[in-house]
Chain A
Amino acid sequence: MAFQTEGSNLRALLVEDIKVNRMILSAMLRKFQVETTVVQNGKEAVELFLGGETFDIVLTDNLMPIMTGPEAISKIRAMGATTVMIVGVSVDAHSMEEFKDAGADLCVPKLKLEILEDILQETRSKKNKSSA
């Protein structure tokens, strides 16, 4: 598989409480040369945005301690971060509506490399369009 690296590196925020999942998802993003910040729950993600951090893409799990993925997404969108691509990961059919209502752009039940490549390509196109 060829991994695209056109243009400047994307900045991703990974929101995931399970260590094993953090390790795997971080490695996937590293494969695509994505600059990744990792936090362990929704509250930490919100705090980064409150602190003025910006990201091109947020990948967030659903159920996490302190603050869930959908709760964090709602707060991030309410702050005015409307252009950042937000992807719900490990989302079952049951939770998809909650993620979409909160403001997620996409939901995936399982993140695979091929799917991530497409998502990052879409994120890159969106970023290039908005900076043109």
Chain B
Amino acid sequence: MGYLDEQFNQLEELQDESSPNFVEEVVALFFKDSSRLLTNIEQAIDKYPQDFYRLDSLVQQLKGSGSSIGALRMKNECSVFKANCNDRNLDGCRRSLQKMKREHATLKQKLESYFQLLRQVGPRDYAVSSRK
């Protein structure tokens, strides 16, 4: 499974002369917000008694923003996390959180490399690969 889905292409379509760094700005905002959310989720998991409603709400926010930038694997893992919240499965939630943190770190690394490469290539006269 790829790291990004076609939603990422939508972001690229929104980038133009008036917003030349739109994609990178949106992605930067996503990583800023999602890092905060992951910290909040971790704190919520360690709290006793567990508030699965709050956990679900936090994961829903992460799923929403991840889905908007095309973060496919993160979105899928959020769905698994939500199912664990629904089942009040704390161990399942912990496992999902660890997986989400790994996916988050990997995606961040890959996108940082991608934007670095774009900067080296220069202005948009290149063919954009559909697989990312």
| B69 interfacial contact with A, CB 8 Å | yes
Given contacts A19-B29, A24-B26, A63-B60, are A1 and B67 in contact (CB under 8 A)?
A: no
Name the residue in A27, A110, A112 with the highest tally of chain B Cβ atoms < 10 Å from its Cβ. A27
Q: Which of B14, B33, B57, B61 interacts with A27 by CB under 8 Å?
A: B14
Chain A residue with the shortest CB-CB distance to B31: A20
CB of B14 within 8 A of CB of A90, answer no
Q: Which of B7, B11, B19, B25 interacts with A110 by CB under 8 Å?
A: B7
CB of B67 within 8 A of CB of A110, answer yes
Q: CA separation between A110 and B75, bound complex, in Å?
A: 13
Task: Enumerate chain B residues within 8 angstroms of A4, measured Cβ to Cβ.
Answer: none
| B10 interfacial contact with A, CB 8 Å | yes
CB of A24 within 8 A of CB of B68, answer yes
Given contacts A27-B22, A90-B64, A110-B7, are A20 and B69 in contact (CB under 8 A)?
A: yes
We find that the number of chain B residues with CB closer than 8 angstroms to chain A is 20
Q: Which of B22, B60, B68 interacts with A21 by CB under 8 Å?
A: B68
Q: CA separation between A113 and B60, bound complex, in Å?
A: 24
Q: CA separation between A79 and B55, bound complex, in Å?
A: 35
Chain B residue with the shortest CB-CB distance to A1: B13
| A50 interfacial contact with B, CB 8 Å | no
Q: Which of A17, A18, A20, A112 interacts with B10 by CB under 8 Å?
A: A112
Q: Which of A17, A24, A90 interacts with B11 by CB under 8 Å?
A: A24
| B65 interfacial contact with A, CB 8 Å | yes
- Least Cβ–Cβ distance between A38 and chain B, in angstroms: 15
> Binary interface profile of B, 4-35, with partner A (CB < 8 Å = 1, else 0)?
00010011011000010010011001100100
CB of A31 within 8 A of CB of B14, answer yes
From 67 to 125 in chain A, residues with beta carbon under 8 angstroms from any chain B beta carbon are: 90, 110, 112-113
CB of A113 within 8 A of CB of B26, answer no
With A1-B13, A24-B26 known, 7 other A-B pairs at CB within 8 A are A20-B33, A24-B10, A24-B69, A27-B22, A28-B14, A63-B57, A112-B10
24 contacts between A and B (CB under 8 A): A18-B33, A18-B61, A18-B65, A20-B29, A20-B30, A20-B33, A20-B65, A20-B68, A21-B64, A24-B10, A24-B11, A24-B14, A24-B69, A27-B19, A27-B22, A28-B10, A28-B14, A31-B14, A61-B64, A63-B57, A63-B60, A90-B64, A113-B10, A113-B13
